[in-house]
């Protein structure tokens, strides 16, 4: 008998139920822990840069990664103009499959989970790269990612004060309304430069699809940690090259980041450190209290595998999700064509019995 090929499907409502049941803080912390665990197995994975299809209005990407037991991929788009159409800028879904058989085991909505894993990764990096005792963060770009970043930094890093700036005041209004009861001191800033004043950490999460200098070298004080998450495709950056030149820059997967990240602006041999080396104790991370550190984060498939695996475990434990026949499963695995004859035969038999 052929092994079962039934997959579990988690739709947007299921993912919301998972997170609400666990609590966002606990769920984010668990994803961060899972990411750290998988990054410490870095050499076990077959890694590659994501595949992207670029159009005049945005990008659609596929992000694969695998080890000996599991394969994962994420479909994700980035269309900054979508909000004018009433659509999210980022939409995503993902798959987990068995490497031994190729059987897809999980199909899941990932827009919400992508925001959580991005925030978890940011906080994980900041715990190793920001100065101990960092309590104030500038958050430049107050769109869909901002609340997740704010709360992850509150819970996992210890941030207590946010300095907020967005070119769209309505975005900051939204952020303030969502976080007003979350134990954070919220301060609006008229400019990005004003937001950076007194900040231990600066997070940039803008959606401008151009080469931009949202953050310039003179805007950050010595010792600042910069968490740059908005630049994630060729031609889309947020940081002044002069800032990068004077900083210690950390990345997820260098071959991908050199094409899509802030360092696309720098020479091909510009020195960067893959963050897994810090987790593994192969690099000290921040070297002193005055050093400016930059986490040039574009998102990497290994983070999605970690988030998917955690979601799958929680869903199984709670009985959330439903089985679907995502792929064909003929009784005789060599007779795929036979599937087409089953309905016809069943129909003839039913008609004969009725007569």
Give the catalytic positions in this structure.
232
As a whole number of angstroms, the distance between CA 288 and CA 222 comes to 10
Q: Which two tokens stand for residue 311?
A: 């979601």
Q: Of 116, 53, 110, which is closest to residue 79 (Cα–Cα)?
A: 53
Cβ contacts of 125-128, under 8 Å, gap ≥ 24: 125/227, 125/250, 125/275, 125/295, 125/297, 126/153, 126/156, 126/157, 126/201, 126/225, 126/227, 126/295, 127/156, 127/157, 128/275, 128/278, 128/279, 128/285, 128/286
Q: Of 54, 46, 55, 227, which is closest to residue 134 (Cα–Cα)?
A: 227
Q: Which two tokens stand for residue 316?
A: 């199984």
**Residue 208 φ/ψ, nearest 5 degrees:** -60, 120
Helix (H), strand (E) at residue 205? none
Judge contact between 154 and 324, C-beta under 8 A. no
Query: Regarding beta strands 136-140 and 161-165, do their DSSP bridges make them parallel or antiparallel, or are they unpaired?
Result: parallel
Helix (H), strand (E) at residue 202? strand 201-204
Q: Which two tokens stand for residue 287?
A: 């070297």
Q: Residue 247: is it exposed, middle or buried by C-beta count within 10 angstroms (0-12/13-18/19+)?
A: buried
Helices (H) and strands (E) in the chain, counts: 11, 18
Judge contact between 248 and 296, C-beta under 8 A. no
DSSP string computed for 129-160:
HSPTT--EEEEE--STTHHHHHHHHHHHT---
């Amino acid at each position: 008998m052929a092994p079962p090929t039934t997959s579990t499907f988690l739709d947007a409502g299921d993912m919301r139920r998972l997170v609400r049941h666990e609590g966002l803080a606990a769920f984010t912390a668990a994803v961060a822990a899972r990411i750290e665990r998988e990054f410490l197995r870095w050499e076990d994975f077959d890694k590659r840069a994501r595949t992207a299809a670029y159009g005049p209005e945005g990008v659609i990407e596929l992000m694969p990664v695998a080890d000996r037991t599991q394969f994962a991929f994420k479909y994700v788009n980035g269309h900054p103009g979508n909000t004018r159409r009433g659509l999210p800028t980022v939409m995503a879904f993902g798959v987990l499959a068995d490497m031994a058989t190729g059987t897809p085991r999980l199909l899941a909505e990932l827009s919400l989970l992508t925001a959580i894993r991005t925030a978890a990764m940011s906080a994980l990096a900041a715990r190793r790269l920001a100065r101990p005792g960092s309590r104030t963060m500038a958050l430049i770009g107050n769109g869909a990612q901002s609340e997740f970043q704010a709360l992850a930094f509150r819970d996992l890093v210890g941030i207590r004060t946010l300095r907020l700036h967005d070119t769209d005041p309505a975005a900051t209004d939204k952020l303030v309304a969502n976080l007003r009861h979350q134990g954070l001191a919220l301060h609006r800033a008229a400019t990005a430069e004003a937001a950076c004043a007194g900040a231990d950490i600066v997070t940039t999460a803008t959606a401008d699809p151009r080469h931009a200098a949202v953050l310039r070298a003179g805007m950050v004080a010595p010792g600042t940690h910069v968490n740059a998450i908005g630049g994630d495709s060729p031609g889309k950056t947020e940081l002044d090259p002069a800032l990068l030149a004077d900083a210690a820059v950390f990345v997820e997967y260098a071959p991908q980041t050199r094409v899509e990240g802030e360092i696309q602006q720098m020479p091909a041999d510009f020195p960067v450190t893959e963050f897994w080396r810090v987790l593994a104790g192969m690099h000290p991370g921040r070297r002193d209290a005055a050093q400016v550190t930059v986490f040039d984060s574009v998102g990497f498939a290994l983070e999605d595998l970690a988030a998917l695996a955690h979601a799958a475990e929680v869903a199984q434990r709670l009985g959330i999700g439903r089985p679907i026949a995502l792929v064909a499963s003929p009784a005789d695995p060599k007779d795929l064509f036979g599937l087409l004859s089953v309905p016809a035969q069943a129909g003839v038999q039913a008609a004969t019995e009725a007569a």
